[in-house]
């Protein structure tokens, strides 16, 4: 009876952890993506227009990317203190920082109202969003994965991953509501764009209380009890595991570059631009929302699939999918048919889900316990810089330089190839014990280059635990 009670208690705690990571990352990424959405729609006009129309559009997308340059700072700070003080504390801090920055964007003056100070303040707040995003993901991923049974880490790790498509869905739906109902036409330009940012203050309160209610990661609790935290985890990480950081970052570049065509506002900007397809904003926002739903479904499916066939193989399937969609994506979009835009984004989103669902579990299994928060956070941040930081800006520059979308497709396909090669260099470690007691085994055999005492197999049976 006590064993059954213990199992129920553990299951209940895992449910709270899944809810906390899902709700928290959804709010974080809503904040992050509402900026990218507005950058694609209106920020060029509001904050950068005096530089000229074409440059204003590129500058607006560059402001999306600049936050990525500060993600490593957030990853370093959150990783350092997350490995020393705990995962949960960092999750709460990053959530508050992101929400505060987003809310303040909603009350900023425009260039017409304040001159050059307006874009400067916008960039400062975007940088704070980048610092927060850099620290957020690692903590959420570890809370989900380190609480989970080892045979279900992929599925459990898909919970924080859902925050990206759900955040994008929420951002797109809120913007569609504002542009189509609350403040259509000129009202959106004058004041309606502020509403999605101001909503963040409500979301942040909800996320704070949800995250405060969960238990600390059992791996960190065990590490703290034995006083085995590193005094300088980031230094140890780069001294011992720099190759893992690099390869893990490259695994992410394909998903990020492709994903930011949708989440970074480029497709929205391209399809609604009067000089391009000139489609209604609300129609395209709803198509992006539908793609987010598909992305969400396949993120969960990919997490579960990776528990059965392994993380690298699931990634490989996803990157082959994205490679195959590189050219057809824009072929269908360029028809100007709303139905084909829905179809192209939905098919494209399948590949995004397959290359995102396994990430939390895979990254957690790559790095040893004592530097795990630092490792997953910094690899994620670097991958975001190399992949998605400036992909909308690169796409816009390629469009303006060539007058077409073929060069954009080739760029995305190239990033998918890089990521496919990188993930193929990792071994499958889905059944590994992630506790500090297993540190010695975690240190070896992660890549195909390392043959030191590699176990023949890890425990992936239903009885397998953390």
Domains defined for the chain, CATH in brackets:
8-211+223-442 (1.20.1250.20)
pLDDT value at position 407? Answer: 96
pLDDT value at position 350? Answer: 96
pLDDT value at position 347? Answer: 96
d(CA 288, CA 221): 41
CA 232 to chain centre: 26
CB 443: neighbour CB atoms within 10 A?
17
Q: Angle 452-145-249 (CA atoms, 0-180°, nearest 5)?
A: 60
d(CA 364, CA 303): 13
Residues in the chain predicted with pLDDT less than 70, given as ranges, are 1-14, 51-54, 211, 213, 223, 225-231, 264, 452-466
Query: Going by C-beta distance under 8 Å and a sequence separation of 6 or more, which residues neighbour residue 185?
Result: none
Q: What is the dihedral of CA 137, 314, 388, 86, to 10 degrees?
A: 10
pLDDT value at position 388? Answer: 77
d(CA 453, CA 445): 7
d(CA 345, CA 349): 6
d(CA 356, CA 30): 17
Structure pTM? 0.82
Q: Does residue 447 sit in helix, strand or coil? A: strand
Over the stretch 271-311, which tens digit does the pLDDT of each residue have?
A: 988 888 889 888 888 898 899 899 999 999 999 999 999 99
Q: DSSP class of residue 298? A: H
Instruction: Of 248, 353, 238, give the one whose Cα is nearest residue 294.
Output: 353
pLDDT value at position 463? Answer: 43
Over the stretch 23-57, which tens digit does the pLDDT of each residue have?
A: 778 887 888 788 888 887 888 888 887 766 667 87
d(CA 134, CA 380): 8
d(CA 62, CA 260): 13
Q: What are the CA-CA distances from residue 400 to residues 276, 277, 392 (Å)?
A: 11, 14, 12
* Ordered DSSP codes for 90-112: HHHHHHHHHHHHHHHHTT---HH
């Amino acid at each position: 009876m006590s064993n059954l009670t213990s199992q129920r208690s553990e299951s209940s705690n895992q449910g709270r952890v899944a809810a906390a990571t899902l709700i928290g990352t959804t709010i974080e990424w809503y904040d992050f993506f509402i900026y990218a959405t507005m950058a694609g729609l209106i920020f060029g006009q509001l904050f950068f227009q005096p530089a000229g129309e074409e440059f204003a559009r590129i500058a607006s997308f560059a402001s999306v990317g600049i936050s990525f340059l500060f993600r490593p700072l957030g990853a370093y700070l959150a990783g350092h203190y997350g490995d020393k003080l705990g995962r949960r504390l960092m999750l709460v801090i990053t959530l508050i920082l992101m929400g505060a920055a987003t809310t303040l964007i909603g009350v900023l003056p425009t260039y017409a109202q304040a001159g050059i100070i307006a874009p400067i303040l916008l960039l400062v707040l975007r940088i704070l969003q980048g610092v927060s995003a850099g620290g957020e993901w690692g903590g959420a991923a570890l809370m989900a994965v380190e609480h989970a049974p080892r045979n279900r880490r992929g599925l459990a790790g898909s919970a924080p991953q859902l925050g990206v498509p759900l955040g994008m869905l929420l951002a797109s739906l809120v913007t569609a509501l504002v542009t189509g109902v609350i403040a259509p036409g000129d009202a959106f330009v004058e004041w309606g764009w502020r509403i999605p940012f101001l909503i963040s203050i409500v979301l942040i309160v909800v996320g704070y209380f949800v995250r405060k209610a969960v238990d600390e990661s059992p791996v960190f609790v065990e590490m703290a009890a034995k006083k085995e935290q590193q005094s300088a985890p980031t230094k140890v990480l780069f001294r011992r595991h720099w190759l893992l950081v690099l390869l893990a970052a490259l695994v992410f570049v394909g998903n990020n570059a492709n994903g930011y065509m949708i989440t970074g506002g480029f497709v929205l900007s391209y399809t609604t631009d009067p000089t391009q397809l000139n489609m209604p904003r609300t129609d395209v926002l709803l198509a992006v929302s539908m793609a987010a739903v598909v992305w969400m479904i396949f993120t969960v499916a990919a997490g579960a699939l990776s528990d059965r066939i392994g993380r690298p193989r699931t990634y490989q399937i996803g990157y082959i999918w994205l490679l195959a969609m590189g050219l057809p994506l824009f072929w269908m979009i360029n028809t100007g048919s709303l139905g084909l835009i829905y179809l192209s984004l939905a098919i494209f989103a399948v590949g995004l889900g397959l290359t995102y669902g396994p990430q939390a579990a895979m990254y957690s299994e790559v790095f040893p316990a004592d530097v795990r928060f630092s490792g997953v956070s910094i690899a994620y941040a670097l991958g975001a810089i190399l992949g998605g930081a400036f992909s909308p800006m690169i796409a816009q520059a390629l469009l303006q330089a060539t007058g077409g979308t073929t060069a954009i497709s080739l760029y995305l396909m190239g990033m998918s190839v890089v990521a496919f090669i990188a993930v193929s260099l990792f071994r499958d470690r889905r059944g590994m014990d992630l506790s500090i007691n297993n540190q010695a085994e975690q240190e070896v055999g992660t890549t195909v280059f390392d043959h030191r005492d590699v176990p023949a197999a890890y425990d992936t049976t239903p009885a397998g635990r953390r």
